[in-house]
Amino acid sequence: MTMSLRDYMWINRAKTSNTKMAARLGITRHHFGRVVNGMTVPSVSLAKKIEKEIDGAVTWDEILDFCHTLVEAKLKNN
């Protein structure tokens, strides 16, 4: 099983925060937090920026898959 962005951010919480990562990506902390927690699906462009920023620890397609899975599950349960 691969690591999710949420897992990556948790494991690396001593090195960086959502606020710092969001600033490096040029987005708000709120938007980044929603992506990390799978509450919103980022654009492919943003997912690729995230992958580059974290040196490929989580790939852009893994980020999209994680977010799509959680958003679809939430819609299914409503």
Q: How confident is the model over 25-56, as pLDDT tens digits? A: 999 999 999 999 999 999 999 999 999 999 99
- 46 near 14, Cβ under 8 Å? no
Whole-structure pTM value: 0.90
Alpha-carbon gap, residue 5 to 3, rounded angstroms: 7
Can you give the pLDDT at residue 78? 75
Domain extent at residue 20: 5-77
Alpha-carbon gap, residue 42 to 31, rounded angstroms: 9
Number of domains in the chain: 1
